[in-house]
Amino acid sequence: MLPQSPKMFPESLKEWLELLETRHPTEIELGLDRIGRVAKQLGLLPSASANEDPDSPISNDGKKTPYPIAKKIITVAGTNGKGSCVAAIDSILRSANFQVGTYTSPHFTRYNERICINGSNIDDESICTAFERIEVARGDISLSYFEFGTLAAFLVMAEHDLDVAILEVGLGGRLDAVNILDTDIAVVTSIALDHEDWLGSDLNVIAAEKAAIGRPEKPLIYGDVIPVSGLLEQAKLIGAELILNGHDFSLPDFYKEVKRHNEVKRYSEVKGSGEGSSIGYNLLPDNSVACAVEAVNLLVPSLPESVIEQGLNSVELKGRYQQEDIEGVRVVLDVAHNPQAAELLAKRLSTSSSKTLVNPIRAVFGAMEDKDIDGIWEPLLPLVHTWYFCDIPEQSRAAKAKNLAALMYNKPVPPSSRVVDHQIFTENSPVAALEKALADSGKGDTLIVFGSFFTVGPVLSWLEAMRTAN
C-alpha cells in the first residue's frame, strides 16, 4: 500500500481566506458544538491544571498547549462600543507594562488586524500556521469563517506568554465562538436592537444572550445606566457578580473633566505628516470608557490613576469618529451601523465647534440590507444635505445604492432642519462615492463616511494608499 501524501494547504493567507469564505454553507452559524469539538482536539478547552498536568494536550510541535490562553481573560460583548472598550482596556494595560493580546472583528483593511499581540497585528505566517493546525484537527467537522479565525486567535495567543487576553464577541454572546472559553471578567457595554435576523427583536432576549458570556461568581460589568431587565435576570441565573454602571462604578473624575472642557485630539492631514489619526479618548463612548476602567480596576486594583489616564490618552482606534483632513475637507469615518450608533455620531457632529463643523454636511453611506436603514438615517437627516450612496462590491448582504436612493427620495426633510432639500447621488463603491463627494466639497466642508465596516474599510485603504504615494 502506497503511503499517503502529506495534506496540501493554501500557500498564503490570502488563499486561506478565499478558501474559508466559500467552504462553510452559511456565513454565520451560531452554536458551540462544532467549534467545541475542534477546540478539544487542539487542547484549547478548560483544564484547571493544564500547565502542570503531564497528560495535558500536546501541540503539533511537541509543546504543551497551555490553557488558559493568557493568565486572565476578559470577554467583551455589547451592541455598540465593544471595539472601543477592547481598545481602551488594551491601551491601559499595556501602559502598565502588561503583556496583552486582543481578538476583534471584523477587520478594516487586513485580516491581521483581528489578532494583536501588545498592540501589533500578528503576521501572516503565524495565522497560516494556526489555520493548518485547525485544518488537521477538525477532520470532517465544518467550521465557519469566524469559527476558524477564533480558534486561530486562541492558538496564536497560546504561543505568547500573555498576562491578559481580551476577546470581543462577534455576534450575541451565549452562542458566539469566543464563549467556548471561560472568562475572568465579562463586559457588556450596551444593549440595543441590531442583527435582528439572528438575535430577534425582543430587547430582553438579546440582553440575556449577551449576559450569557458571564460566569458564576465572576464579575459581569454592564454599561447601560438604565439596565435592561433581561440582562439582570440572566446574570442572576448564571450566578455572576453583576456590576452596574451608575450604581457600582462611573466615569473617572479626570475623564469627566476632559468631557467638560470638550478637548479633542487634533486630526492629521493626509498629505501632511503621513501619520494616521487617532481618536481623542473623550470621543470614545462613555459606556465603553467606564466599563474599561472598571475592568482594569478589578484586574489591577492598585493601578495608579495616572497610568489609566496615560492609557486612555494612547488609544488608537480606526473608524470610530476618526477624523482626517483631505485638502481642507474634514472627513469623519465612523462605522455606525445601527440607530444607537448613528445617534451618537449625530450628537458628536452637532456639538462640534464651529471651526470643525459646517452644517449641513455631505455623507457617504453604504450598509447591509438587513439593517434598520430608516433608524440609522433618522438622527442624521437634519444634518446631511447631500447623500452619496454606494454599492459594496463582494458583499452579498449589502443594500444596493439605487435602492437606498429610492428610500431617501421618499424621506421628508425634518421641519426643524437647516437642510432645505436632500441631494442624492449613487456610486458603485465606497471609494467612488468618496471621490465624488470630495470633488463636490470645498475647504472647510465636512464629509462623513458611515454605515458599515465594509463602507469605511475601503476608504481607509484609499487613505493609506494616498499616504504611501505622498
Mean pLDDT score of the chain: 84
Are 446 and 358 contacting, i.e. CB atoms less than 8 angstroms apart? yes
pLDDT bin (cut points 50, 70, 90) of residue 57 is: very low
Rounded Cα gap, residues 172 and 86, in angstroms: 16
pLDDT of residue 201: 64
Residue 346 DSSP code: H
pLDDT of residue 421: 64
Q: Which residue has the higher pLDDT, 211 or 49?
A: 211
Distances (CA, A) of 80 to 76, 163, 195, 345, 369: 11, 26, 12, 12, 19
pLDDT of residue 417: 59
pLDDT of residue 28: 58
Statement: residue 416 has pLDDT above 80: no
pLDDT of residue 382: 87
Statement: residue 1 has pLDDT above 50: no
pLDDT of residue 462: 93
Please report where in the chains the cell 445604492 appears, as a residue.
Answer: 401
Residue 48: φ, ψ to 5°: -60, -25
One-character DSSP codes across 131-197: HHHHHHHHTT----HHHHHHHHHHHHHHTS--SEEEEE-SSSSTTSGGGGSPPSEEEE-------HH
Statement: residue 35 has pLDDT above 50: yes
- Determine which helix (DSSP H) or strand (DSSP E) holds 222, and give its type and residue range: strand 219-222
Residues contacting 248, CB < 8 A, separation 6+: 294
pLDDT of residue 170: 87
pLDDT of residue 63: 43
pLDDT (mean) for 322-329: 90
pLDDT of residue 464: 87
pLDDT of residue 253: 83
Are 196 and 370 contacting, i.e. CB atoms less than 8 angstroms apart? yes
Statement: residue 206 has pLDDT above 80: yes
102 bridge partner residues: 116, 166
- Helix axis angle, 82-95 to 286-299, nearest 10°: 40
Classify domain 13-313 by CATH number.
3.40.1190.10
Of 323-327, 357-361, 401-405, give the range with the top mean pLDDT. Answer: 401-405
Percent of the chain at pLDDT > 70 equals 81
CATH of 322-469, one of 3.90.190.20, 3.20.20.70, 3.90.550.10, 3.40.50.2300: 3.90.190.20
407 bridge partner residues: none
Number of Cβ within 10 Å of residue 107's Cβ equals: 16
Number of Cβ within 10 Å of residue 101's Cβ equals: 27
Please report where in the chains the cell 479626570 appears, as a residue.
Answer: 254
Statement: residue 51 has pLDDT above 70: no
Statement: residue 27 has pLDDT above 60: no
pLDDT of residue 186: 97
* The model's pTM: 0.86
pLDDT of residue 227: 93
Which residue type is seen at 115? I
Residue 389: φ, ψ to 5°: -85, 140
Rounded Cα gap, residues 392 and 100, in angstroms: 34
Are 389 and 432 contacting, i.e. CB atoms less than 8 angstroms apart? no
Are 449 and 456 contacting, i.e. CB atoms less than 8 angstroms apart? yes
Statement: residue 353 has pLDDT above 50: no
Count of residues for the chain?
470
pLDDT bin (cut points 50, 70, 90) of residue 425 is: very high
Q: What is the pLDDT of residues 74-112, one digit of tens each?
A: 999 998 899 999 999 999 999 999 999 999 999 999 999
Q: Which residue has the higher pLDDT, 435 or 29?
A: 435
Residues contacting 364, CB < 8 A, separation 6+: 388, 390, 430, 433, 434, 437, 447, 448, 449, 450, 455, 459
- Domains of the chain by residue range: 13-313, 322-469
Q: Which residue has the higher pLDDT, 113 or 5?
A: 113
Statement: residue 270 has pLDDT above 50: no
